[in-house]
């Protein structure tokens, strides 16, 4: 009996309710339309893909003590060329400061900067990575990754920790191989001399 009373009171309350007209329906996004959340997620994935495409590792890195020198020389590089790099005798054509950048931003910057310098024929770059005494998850975090990333880039033929006046243990000289276009320009200049 209580059921019929509640049904009756419900019907009394609902007697002036009218169905919604088609105009009052909320528009639903079509299957092809992208929502804001989907767009933000897509943009984040595109950025991640761009970072991943550069080939620089994000895997485990062997920690380097903040006070250690970082050095590298590809096979075939003349000792005199490497010595001049080590002694800071080459003109620094470009400088990249990685201090205070996030890991992803530093990874992106180092790749893009070195690639652009190589394409423009720039040979010597100073990268200021900082010593990183208080970096997390371990001291020398960025320095350790810079050491690894530079070894992974085919265009880098040598690098060495900078002299004190250029940043010392918190910076590194990087020597890039000549871009094929630069080699052609050099050949043409030498031919004009003769």
Is residue 29 included in any domain, yes or no? no
| Mean pLDDT, range 147-156, rounded to an integer | 94
Cβ pair 110, 127 in contact under 8 A: yes
pLDDT of residue 13: 82
Is residue 7 included in any domain, yes or no? no
Read off the pLDDT band of 172 (50, 70, 90): very high
Buried b (16+ CB within 10 A) or exposed e, 123-145: bbbbbbbbbbeeeeeebbbbbbb
pLDDT of residue 130: 93
Dmax over CA atoms of the chain, in Å, equals: 115
Residue 6: CB atoms within 10 Å: 9
Is residue 127 included in any domain, yes or no? yes
In the chain, how many domains are there? 1
pLDDT tens across 10-23, in order?
Answer: 788 888 887 766 66
pLDDT of residue 26: 65
Task: Write out the DSSP string of 66-130.
Answer: TTS--EEE-TT--HHHHHHHHTT-S---EEEE-TT--HHHHHHHHHHHHHHHHHHT--EEEEE--
pLDDT tens across 15-60, in order?
Answer: 888 776 666 666 665 666 678 887 788 777 776 655 556 778 778 8
> Of 131, 123, 129, whose CA–CA distance to 149 is shortest?
129
Q: Which two tokens stand for residue 75?
A: 């096979």
Query: pTM higher than 0.75 for the full model?
Result: no
Domain CATH code at residue 118: 3.30.1370.110
Tell me how far the alpha carbon of residue 24 is from its chain's centroid: 49
Cβ pair 128, 95 in contact under 8 A: yes
Is residue 131 included in any domain, yes or no? yes
Q: Which domain holds residue 139?
A: 71-185
| β-strand partners of 173 | 126, 160
């Amino acid at each position: 009996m209580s059921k019929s009373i509640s049904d009756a009171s419900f019907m009394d309350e609902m007697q002036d309710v009218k169905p919604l007209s088609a105009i009052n329906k909320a528009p639903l996004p079509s299957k092809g339309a992208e929502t804001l959340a989907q767009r933000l997620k897509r943009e984040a994935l595109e950025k991640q893909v761009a970072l991943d495409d550069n080939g620089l590792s994000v895997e485990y890195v062997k920690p380097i003590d903040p006070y250690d020198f970082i050095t590298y020389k590809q096979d075939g590089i003349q000792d005199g060329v490497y010595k001049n790099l080590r002694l800071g005798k080459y003109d620094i054509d470009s400088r990249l400061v990685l201090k205070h950048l996030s890991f992803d931003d530093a990874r992106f910057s180092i790749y893009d900067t070195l690639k652009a310098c190589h394409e423009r024929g720039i040979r010597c770059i100073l990268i200021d990575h900082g010593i990183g005494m208080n970096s997390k998850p371990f001291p020398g975090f960025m320095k350790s990754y810079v050491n690894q990333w530079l070894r992974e880039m085919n265009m880098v033929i040598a690098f060495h920790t900078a002299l004190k006046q250029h940043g010392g243990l918190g910076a590194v000289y990087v020597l890039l191989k000549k871009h094929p276009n630069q080699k052609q320009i050099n050949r043409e200049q030498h031919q004009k001399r003769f």
